[in-house]
Amino acid sequence: MTIEVRDGVTVIEGEPEALVTADYPYYRDDPEVWADRLRAIRDELGIDLITCYLPWRHHQPTPDGPPDFAGHTHPSRDVVGFLALCHELGLKVIAKPGPFIHAETNYGGLPDWVCPRTNPAIEPLLDAKGEASAWLGEPLPAPLGAAFDPLVTQWLAATGKEVLEPATWPEGPVIMMQIANEGIFTSGALPLSAYDYSASGLAFFRDRLQAWYGTLEEYNRLHGTAIRDWSEAEPPRSWTAPARSEEQQAYCDWGRFHAEYLAEVYHRWAAAVNCRVPVVVNLNPPAEHHHSFDDWLARVRPELWEGIHYGFTNWMGVVSANPDSQARYVTAAKRAPGPNLEENWGFSELYDPAYADATTSFHQSLLALAAGGTGFNVYTGVGTSGWLEGLDSVHDSPYPDCAPIGADGSVTPKAHAVRSLADFFARHGAEFLECVPEAGETYGLYLPYAGIAAWAEPGSGAPELGRSLRAFHDRCRAAGRDYRLLELESATAVELAAHPRLTVPGGAFMHRQVQRLLAGHVEAGCLVEVDGPLPTLDEFLRPCRILAEALAGVDRADFAAPASRVKVVDGHADAYLRTHPDQDISYLTVLTQSDHEGAVLVELDGRPIELITARGGAAVVRLVAGELDDFLVKGVNGYLDSAVPAGVKVGGEILIADHPADLDRIGGEFRVFPAA
């Protein structure tokens, strides 16, 4: 009786599956309706896996007593009963004990008594200016602080012992645990200057410096400094326009620190819970500012998270209308295999009016899967209508405003779109994930550059990573080609062999083993393109021209651009193709942009496939031996006032709704919504 995560794919009792989940914030609802709402998720949405946060401030509002998990102080705190109810209804659960959850709760779900403003013993999280990093005006605690660390450990240990351990699969419903939220304090995408300059954070930083460099002599040689004690090593606080590689090393160090700091907090908190099920995290994608890709790439290094699995979220805008949002979303989906653990299906007034219609979330859920995700989440599946004072003093009922299941338990028009996705991937999800994306190009991530580029001004001449990756993404998208990401420092020659066309960022230095790895790739007849100057130094800033010598005399013209098996020949849309390695089965995902309506013509191996979707719509088609099998096509987008009879044409088979509607075929059974 096992639950595993293998290469980002959830495996339950030996069976891999696409992780399709719906969030239900039990703590915002009357316990008398819990059972009804859970049945609605199961029966109306077709989802049997619930995600739910456990808000610390809700279960332990004061430090005077232990957390209430049984509803002794208020029925809505009976999370033990809630999990028992899930199990009784045949539902599984991903439990999310925080400690910080965001979730539109006051102070992000932390109790007020751990706030440095309320409790002066709590060390505040500090930014580069020495000012407290705040959440909606309230200073946040430093995660490694001497006073906060035991308090958060006690909370997490209590949730593990009293809530999760008794409810762990198969005796209970809990199959997985998510730790933290979107970084630590929803901070995974913030600038590297945002934290952690607290005393405890800098102590960890200096400890890592000593581990990395060993001696002060080596540190001074590489940094061009003359410090006499590790306590004198200072992190960067602003961009000083360093020209020499020695002067740039402090920025590399701070980026590496952020990656190891995040890993340290994840491991500490997961160990405190001590849960027997797999642990997953949900990273928010890069933010919108011009350094955002580098801030994110420097910090987010799943290769360091042994025993903790990657997941991501989407809260960055409408991807069918905004190329920046689409690029950030795709980066998160491709960084490592894992599920989308929060896709906005319920918020329009709070977030963006486009989400009032299900088409936006339908499009983005399919994009996540097509780009590399291993599942999607409905956040939130159910509208709620009541919560205790002090939990959320800002937002009105219902929460959220346009969920697939309304706050009164009614089924809303969004439910059909969720049910279609849930049913399709319940039937075909494992096979879909077995299929290999048709991606002819790869971008190699050399992450030390991110720590520098996160501070550097564009055009400064400093090494770049994020802006180079974004330009690569835009080129591939414009050419209609999918791509992959590969982290170079941990890659092996065997792994690299699967990436015959590789673009890597350039700079003055690069790890010797990375240069050697890339040189071997060139010698094996593969293409390596360097976006920037060729490195002449290794990571110790000693002469190293292994890559430059391997590329000398290589003519890029000898490498023809890969022919894409799938391309959009008419219409403003993206097309993604996945093909099974052992069977003649493919999945074609077509994502229509918000400015296009009607038919999209795609060629697959030169054969035309036509899809009719709404503006901003999407479709996924299963092809068996080249013939049309099951499919989903979104034909109605009420927000954009776009309604067409959804249709698909493959070869001689033409299937079109007889009125403006969505059209599905799952297991050979047709469904049309709305019905005539």
- What b/e readout covers 419-437, taking b as 16+ CB neighbours within 10 angstroms? bbbbbbbbebbebbbebeb
- Rounded to the nearest angstrom, the gap between the alpha carbon of residue 126 and the centroid of all alpha carbons in its chain is 26
The β-bridge partners of 95 are: 52, 177
Structure tokens at 183: 């970084």
Extended beta strands in 350-393, E state: 375-379
What is the full DSSP assignment across 139-174? EPBPTT-TTHHHHHHHHHHHIIIIIITTTBTTTSSE
Q: How many CA atoms lie within 13 A of 84 on its CB side?
A: 10
Pair type for strands 279-280 and 174-179: parallel
Q: How far apart are CA 512 and CA 543, in angstroms?
A: 10
* Contact by Cβ (8 Å): 106, 391: yes
Structure tokens at 305: 């998270």
- Outline where 396-509 has alpha helix (H): 414-434, 448-453, 466-479, 493-496
Widest Cα–Cα separation across the chain? 80
Residue 226: both structure tokens together:
């003359």
Q: How many residues does the chain have?
A: 676
Q: Annotate 135-144 with b (16+ C-beta within 10 A) or e (fewer).
A: beebbbbbbb
What does the pLDDT read at residue 1? 64
Q: What is the pLDDT of residues 604-654, one digit of tens each?
A: 999 999 999 999 999 999 999 999 999 999 999 999 999 999 999 999 999
**Which pLDDT value is given to residue 57?**
98
Q: How many whole angstroms separate alpha carbon 28 and alpha carbon 101?
A: 14
> Two tokens at 433?
């994930």
DSSP code per residue over 179-202:
ESSTTTTS-TTS-GGGS--SHHHH
Q: What count of other Cβ atoms lies within 10 Å of the Cβ of residue 597?
A: 22
- Give the span between the Cα atoms of 369 and 380, in whole angstroms: 19
Average pLDDT for the chain: 96
Structure tokens at 24: 């239900």
Regions in the chain scoring below 50 on pLDDT? none
Q: What pLDDT, on the 0 to 100 scale, is given for residue 42?
A: 98
Between 199-213 and 216-223, two packed helices, what is the crossing angle to 10 degrees?
Answer: 90
Could you count the other beta carbons within 10 Å of the beta carbon of residue 29?
A: 23
Q: What is the rounded end-to-end Cα distance, in angstroms, of the chain?
A: 46
Query: d(Cα 407, Cα 580) in Å, to the nearest integer?
Result: 41
Q: Is the peptide bond before 166 cis (omega within 30 degrees of 0)?
A: no
Contacts of the segment 156-160: beta carbons below 8 A, 24+ positions apart: 156/97, 156/99, 156/269, 156/272, 156/273, 157/272, 157/273, 157/274, 158/66, 158/67, 158/69, 159/54, 159/67, 159/69, 159/95, 159/97, 159/273, 160/97, 160/272, 160/273, 160/274, 160/275
The label of the residue with tokens 């130094």 reads 537
Domains of the chain: 3-118+148-191+274-435 (3.20.20.80), 438-558 (3.40.50), 566-673 (no CATH)
